[in-house]
Amino acid sequence: MSQGAVTWAEDSAPLEQKQAEESPAKNADLDSITKLLIWIQQNEGQVDLEVGAVNEAGLRGTKAMRDMQQYQVAVKLKKYMAVPLGEWNKSSEENALVLLKKRFKEPEWDKVMQTYWDSLPQRDEIITKETFPPAKLGLLQDPSMAAFVRIHQDFTRNVLRGAKPHIVKDVRAMLGRDISLEEFKYWTAMVASYAFTFPDDTDPEKQVRVMLPLVDLINHGNRDEANVKLFRDENGDYIAYATRVIKKGEELRHTYQAGCERNDHALFHYGFVQDLPEPKLAAQDLPSGNLYDDSAHSEADYDVGGPLATEEELQRLKDILAAFPTTEAEDERLLTGGGWMDKLLGRKPLTDSVERLFVTYRMLRKKALRLTIERLRANLASSSAEL
């Protein structure tokens, strides 16, 4: 998640000082999110949102507490509340090591931050490329994504066992204790999908990554749906503000990365997929696209007269669709429990969350291909009719 520019003033009061004013006994019975909201306000923050389920599937997110005007602040976080992760262009593994080192070597800070740690998803709740179970990757029907996932997971493992000495020679020596692969994968996944990039405190030319309590509970919205933006004010504090009028109860969303409009990108980097009214192809299904780059073409290229409005492109897309081992309808049946035959045979819909996510991904990928093929066919027919 990449954000705007910042100017800087003096350091704010240290977090530890503020924490001392809190009464642990008073907060003992509250749930982790209520504690988080109180903690942020006790530390000079501002909170004008609520946290809860934002869709039928129970996705956690944030909503406006009241009608909001454009530029109104939804959350303000003092700069000392941010978790520093180091430079933005390092791997998530390196950012995770910065975080873990601070946690282990500064127990007082770690204790103060416990309210934040408690607000994060549990280990089995985070589903990203770092944690995708290798045994289930076949369900994606996407060998190239499966290969990228394996490469990433190998890299994480290799960093931990010291096989990448240019990053760290001895993780144990660096952290002062052992850490299991599962824990390292979890923190790498958290950093990869919950961190933000901002200009540095001292050198605005340099970008750094940080984790931001509460701000990181705001979900992604595509460019046309997003209603919140993030920036740092002149004191270096972090602010999420409304980019338009927002109604009470409306979900707050900001754009993590424009690429998330394509499901292969959103799944790989953030572990979610979207069923959009006008679905976009997976980036890798564009003629020169791949998981990391869809910049050479856009959907507009399929319009009449566009560079991709050709018979060859139509055939290329049809070939991709025909090569999948199951159809879109078959995938849908796996998710819904489907037709009379399935019921007769006692077949139940998939319940495992990773399996459902992977099958949904492949189904939506086929849907986008099907709709693009239909559109392209119609565009080609209308251009030949004009001749």
Ligand X SMILES: C[S@@+](CC[C@H](N)C(=O)[O-])C[C@H]1O[C@@H](n2cnc3c(N)ncnc32)[C@H](O)[C@@H]1O
Which residues are at the interface with ligand X (CB under 6 A)? 59-61, 121, 193-194, 216-217, 219-220, 270-272
Give whichever of 239 and 320 is closer to ligand X, judged by the CB atom. Answer: 239
- Nearest distance, CB of residue 265 and ligand X, angstroms: 12
Q: Is 74 helix (H, G, I), strand (E, B) or coil?
A: strand
For the residues of 165-199, what is the DSSP string, one character each?
Answer: TTT-S-HHHHHTS---HHHHHHHHHHHHHHEEEEE
* The two three-digit tokens of residue 13, written as one number: 């009061």
Of 112, 149, 115, 143, the C-alpha closest to 129 is 149
If the CB atoms of residues 301 and 355 are measured against ligand X, the closer one turns out to be 355
Closest-CB residue for ligand X?
A: 60
Q: Which is nearer to ligand X, 123 or 318 (CB)?
A: 123
Query: Residue 257 Cβ, how far from ligand X at the closest point, in Å?
Result: 11
Amino acid found at 163:
A
Beta bridge mates, 231: 239
CB 351 within 8 Å of CB 129: no
Q: How far is the CB of 254 from ligand X (least distance, A)?
A: 10
Cα dihedral 216, 221, 223, 228, rounded to 10, equals: -50
Q: Which is nearer to ligand X, 220 or 280 (CB)?
A: 220
Least CB distance to ligand X at residue 377 (A):
31
Q: How far is the CB of 178 from ligand X (least distance, A)?
A: 27
CA 305 to each of CA 296, 299, 318, 386: distance values in angstroms, whole numbers, following the listed order: 17, 13, 20, 12
Whether the Cβ atoms of residue 383 and residue 304 lie closer than 8 Å to each other: yes
In whole angstroms, the minimum distance from the beta carbon of 243 to ligand X comes to: 17
Q: Which is nearer to ligand X, 80 or 196 (CB)?
A: 196
Of residues 2 and 382, the one with the C-beta less far from ligand X: 2
